[in-house]
Chains A and B, each alone.
Chain A
């Protein structure tokens, strides 16, 4: 097995906030189609947030912030199959506020796979399924709801869903990650009284605090084609033979079973 560390793509990361209007309730805010991109900064104190406040004349106002991270996994070698992964983000104060990590593989931040985070990514198409009412939460990979955010590094181990998102992503392999508040945004529960639940985190920097993805992988000989000869194939002649037989339509064990790969 081998390991690779991938830093977040600098212009496809950041937070987007939706500030509710005077007559907008929590549902209006979390279901908005766009927000406002928060100006780029190394550290932000409110990139993941659920806020309810009473302001002028007894008016109730709501704010919601979500953070987004795009990882270009094209540096994985050809044939690499990811078996484990860790999303790491450095926390800045506000420990203990519940947030949840969500993943998606095939989209890209920026409208229609654009090159930079846009205001529409607040309810981005890349997370369309995750933010829908029907299967909301199905692609959750880890959450701060079972622990507390550290001021230092926070490691989120990708579950099978998250790993498969990378392995099954279209070329180039990629992973989109979102951080949203768990108790109010993800759970679609309106705060019943004034509160300001927020996580502070580090975004991309030239230093050592940038969000990153650490992947453990192995090269799958099963992924090789019969028409290309690679070092992996040269050392796995039996697998090459099975692939040949399969192409002829004979009833033989699957290559993965022969190779011991699940």
Chain B
């Protein structure tokens, strides 16, 4: 079953789904990520301007982005349940634009941005991001993305300018269980 069709459970500390056939619990985001979400947000907002966030999740990074001095905040969200959460979150927030859909499918409807943060789940089009990213960036724009690797490398194979190593203490999950997080940074 594709992720878009999963029924999600939202708690104060996490988002997860249970595979009914295998009875496995799959966490897709947890609140132990606060520190790294802030670092991602602060990096792409360090020059202000127009910000694109691909994947809303628990809205942790969105809150940190809003705490910065920016011109606009565009969020692309694929999963309908999370999209509804994003809409609720955006109420009374000026300059926020929520887009429902697969970022790759809606890419031609997007503009260009000063900062981009990519953090998705189950994205089969992730392999295209390396090629598409330059077309979404303004000159000298800043990009960062979720990194599952425990080295100065990443699953998207985008050559980063640098990595910020952040100590973390993850709760039990199946997607990240290291004690250091290598946050990639790239200026276009």
Interface size on B, residues (CB 8 A): 30
How far is A58 from B125 in the complex, measured between Cα atoms in Å? 8
Partner of A56, one of B21, B129, B175: B175
| B10 contacts A by Cβ under 8 Å | no
The proximity string for B residues 102-129 relative to A, scoring 1 for CB distances below 8 Å and 0 otherwise, is: 0000000000000000111111111101
Please give 14 more A-B residue pairs, beta carbons under 8 A apart, in addition to A45-B21, A56-B146, A58-B146. Answer: A19-B174, A22-B149, A23-B149, A55-B122, A56-B28, A57-B118, A57-B123, A57-B148, A58-B120, A58-B126, A58-B156, A59-B148, A60-B155, A93-B21
**Chain B contacts to A: CB under 8 angstroms:** 21-24, 26, 28, 118-127, 129, 145-151, 153, 155-156, 174-176
Q: Which of A46, A54, A56, A198 has the most CB of B within 10 A?
A: A56
CB of A244 within 8 Å of the partner chain? no
Q: Are B121 and A55 in touch, CB under 8 angstroms? A: yes
Interface of B is mostly: loop
**Given known A22-B155, A23-B149, contact A57–B21 (CB-CB < 8 A):** no
B172 to chain A, nearest CB (A): 13
Whose C-beta in chain B lies nearest to the C-beta of A63? Answer: B174
Please name the residue on chain A nearest to B122 by beta carbon: A54
Inter-subunit contact B153/A57 (CB<8 Å): no
Whether A46 and B22, one on each chain, are in contact in the complex, defined by CB atoms closer than 8 angstroms, is yes
Say yes or no for A194: interface residue by CB 8 A criterion.
yes
Q: Which residues of chain B are within 8 angstroms of A61 by Cβ–Cβ distance? A: 174-175
Note all chain A residues with C-beta closer than 8 A to B126: 54, 57-58
- Contact among A21, A194, A198 with B22 in the assembled complex (CB-CB below 8 Å): A198
Residues of B within 8 A of A22 (CB): 148-150, 155, 176
* Minimum CB distance partner of A22 in chain B: B148
Give CA–CA (A73, B174) in the complex, Å: 40
